[in-house]
C-alpha cells in the first residue's frame, strides 16, 4: 500500500492554529496536528482527494469538526466529521489488538490511524498511519518508519 506521507511540521501549514485554538494557546498544526495529518493521509488515500493539512483543518473548522480540549479550545478531531468530509465510513475507535489490526491491514488492505505514545519526540499521545508491512507514516517527521518505533494503544478504523 502506498500512502503519500505528510509532515505536520511542513512550513506550508505548521504555524497555522489547529482547529479554533487561539494564538495564545500555541496549539498549531506543527505542534499538535498529528491526528489531523494522519486523517489527511488516510482520507486522501481512500478517496483520491488532495486535501492538505491546511485545507482539511479549514474544512473541519467550517463543519464543526473539532471538540473542546481540557482548556476549552476546539482542537480535538471529531472522527465522524473526517468521514463526512471525505465521503467515507468511520467504523469506530478500538483498543489495539495485533490480531484485529493485522486482519484489517492485510485482509482489507486499508490503513489505520493508530494512537499511542512517542517518547522519542516527547509525546504522551501521538497519532500516525499504519500502512501495512510493519510500516507506518509518521506525521511528526513525514517519513515512513517501522511500527516498532512507537507503541500502540488504540486505532481508528475507516472504510470506503
User: How does DSSP assign 75-139, residue by residue?
Assistant: EEE-HHHHHHHHT-EEEEEEE--HHHHHIIIIII---EEEEEEEGGGTEEEEEEEEEETTEEEET
Q: Is residue 10 part of a domain?
A: no
Q: Is residue 151 part of a domain?
A: yes
CA torsion 110→116→119→122, rounded to 10°?
Answer: 100
Q: Is residue 3 part of a domain?
A: no
Q: Is residue 6 part of a domain?
A: no
- Domain limits at 40? 23-159
pLDDT for 104 equals 56
pLDDT for 132 equals 85
pLDDT for 95 equals 83
> What's the domain count of the chain?
1
Q: What is the CATH number of the domain that holds 87?
A: 3.90.70.10
Q: Is residue 88 part of a domain?
A: yes
Question: CA angle, 4 as apex, 64 and 111 as ends, to 5°?
Answer: 70
Q: Is residue 43 part of a domain?
A: yes
Q: What is the Cα–Cα distance from 62 to 139, expressed in whole angstroms?
A: 23
Q: Taking the chain (160 residues) in consecutive chunks of 10 residues, what is each chunk's mean pLDDT? A: 93 98 96 98 97 98 97 97 98 74 59 92 94 92 94 90
pLDDT for 99 equals 45
Q: What is the Cα–Cα distance from 148 to 45, expressed in whole angstroms?
A: 23
Amino acid at each position: 500500500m502506498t500512502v503519500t506521507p505528510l509532515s505536520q511540521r511542513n512550513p506550508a501549514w505548521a504555524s497555522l492554529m489547529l482547529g479554533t485554538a487561539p494564538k495564545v494557546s500555541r496549539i498549531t498544526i506543527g505542534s499538535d496536528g498529528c491526528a489531523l495529518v494522519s486523517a489527511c493521509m488516510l482520507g486522501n488515500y481512500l478517496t483520491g482527494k488532495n486535501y492538505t493539512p491546511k485545507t482539511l483543518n479549514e474544512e473541519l473548522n467550517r463543519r464543526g469538526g473539532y471538540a473542546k480540549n481540557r482548556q476549552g479550545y476546539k482542537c480535538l478531531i471529531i472522527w465522524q466529521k473526517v468521514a463526512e468530509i471525505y465521503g467515507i465510513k468511520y467504523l469506530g475507535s478500538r483498543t489495539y489488538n495485533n490480531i484485529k489490526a493485522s486482519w484489517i491491514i492485510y485482509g482489507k488492505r486499508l490503513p489505520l490511524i493508530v494512537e499511542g505514545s512517542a517518547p522519542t519526540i516527547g509525546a504522551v499521545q501521538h497519532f500516525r498511519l499504519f500502512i501495512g508491512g510493519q510500516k507506518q507514516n509518521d506525521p511528526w517527521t513525514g517519513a515512513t518508519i517501522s511500527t516498532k518505533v512507537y507503541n500502540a494503544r488504540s486505532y481508528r478504523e475507516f472504510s470506503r
